[in-house]
Amino acid sequence: MGVEKVSVAFKLYCLTVMTVVAAAYTVAMRYTRTASSGDLYFSTTAVCITEVFKLLLSTGMLAKESGSLTKLVSTIKEHVFCNPRELLKLSVPSIVYAIQNNMAFLALSNLDAAIYQVTYQLKIPCTALCMVLMLRRTLSRLQWFAIAMLCGGVMLVQWKPIDATKVPVEQNPFVGFMAIAIAVLCSGFAGVYFEKVLKSSDTSLWVRNIQMYISGIVITMLAVLLNDGQKVVEKGFFFGYTPYVCFVVFLASVGGLYTSVVVKYTDNIMKGFSAAAAIVLSTVASVVLFGLHITTTFASGAILVCVSIYLYGLPKQDTSKLSVKDSEQEAKQKLISV
């Protein structure tokens, strides 16, 4: 499905909102995990609440798409309550996304927001590899070059840990990097798997989201019970919650759903600009809020990552048209020679 034609102003609006949400989510989560050493909220409960909000938002979008309450109830009954097989199918990305979201909290408890934002772009080569293996797609030489450049940039960023002087809690950069590695693997697989499920039928995107988020709520609730069950019983489900934590949950809820709107109305180049701009915003925020010291290696790596994202998003050259033109030129040359 191609990108719909919309005004430049609307595209810029989409780009701005996507960039701000991505950067704000990373910085806000980092702040809530490191602002103080006491009364730290349970990340598993935050992930669970996020799934609940996503379910509510998707139901609202499906209601708008359906046009009437009767049709909404009929659609949910048909595709959710009377179709356990599809629920089971969508439980796969639910499990993977639950792991990814919890790993994001662990990573931002141990890494600066700017380092996280740059390193998390490893999801691009991971997603590309999954697309090649699962969807049988091909990548251009420029895209492979961009992937290699991105990996090089991330290596530079991780080459020398950067101290943030305003963070009062103990951190483990190795644990943070391993958490990001698991998160990007989960992101790549779950994203491609979900795309494959979407394209296997004409079922509405919002119906698929509802199926996935219902499974997600069950899975994340199990994670709460297994990891923090006793602590939640003692201190409460919302222990440690502040307005900032609620803001993180809000950004996580709307961010994923808003991305689908951006993908529909913009293109890969604008998505690339958005990712690069989010890295810049996160870096500036980290300098101001967390006392991040920017080194030459970090700056070089971040620039490489931004350039690679732009190159990866460039449209492929239509080689089929070129081959036709080449054939026509060859035929003309043969006629001339005769």
Among 20-34, 49-63, 236-250, 255-269, which is the least confidently predicted range? 255-269
Residue 219: pLDDT band (50, 70, 90) is very high
The angle that helices 123-134 and 141-159 make with each other, rounded to 10 degrees, is: 140
Q: What is the C-alpha to C-alpha distance for residues 183 and 104, in angstroms, rounded to an integer?
A: 7
**Helix residue spans in the chain (DSSP H):** 8-34, 43-66, 69-76, 84-108, 113-119, 123-134, 141-159, 173-199, 205-235, 243-265, 268-290, 296-313, 319-337
pTM, whole model, 2 decimals?
0.80
* Residue 6: pLDDT over 80: no
Quick one: tokens of 84?
């356990």
Nearest to 194 by CA among 62, 90, 57: 90
- Angle separating helix axes 173-199 and 205-235, nearest 10 degrees: 150
Cβ atoms 153, 213 nearer than 8 A: no
Q: What is the pLDDT of residues 276-318, one digit of tens each?
A: 888 888 888 888 877 777 888 888 888 999 898 888 877 766 5
| Res 190 pLDDT > 60 | yes
Q: How far apart are CA 297 and CA 93, in angstroms?
A: 36
* C-alpha span between 307 and 301 (Å, rounded): 10
Q: Give the model confidence (pLDDT) of 128-156 as tens digits.
A: 888 888 888 888 888 899 889 989 988 88
pLDDT of 83-93, one tens digit each?
888 888 899 99
Q: With 80 as the cut, is the pLDDT of residue 26 above it?
A: yes
Residue in the structure block whose two tokens are 């500036």: 284
Does 196 have pLDDT greater than 80?
yes
Mean of pLDDT values over 183-188: 91
122 within 8 A of 181, measured Cβ to Cβ = yes
Mean pLDDT of the chain: 82
CA 186 – CA 46 distance, rounded (Å): 19
> C-alpha distances in angstroms, 194 versus 186, 187, 205, 286?
12, 10, 10, 33
3-state secondary structure of 5: coil
What is the pLDDT at residue 113? 84
The size of the chain, in residues, is 338
Collapsing DSSP to helix, strand or coil, 123 comes out as helix
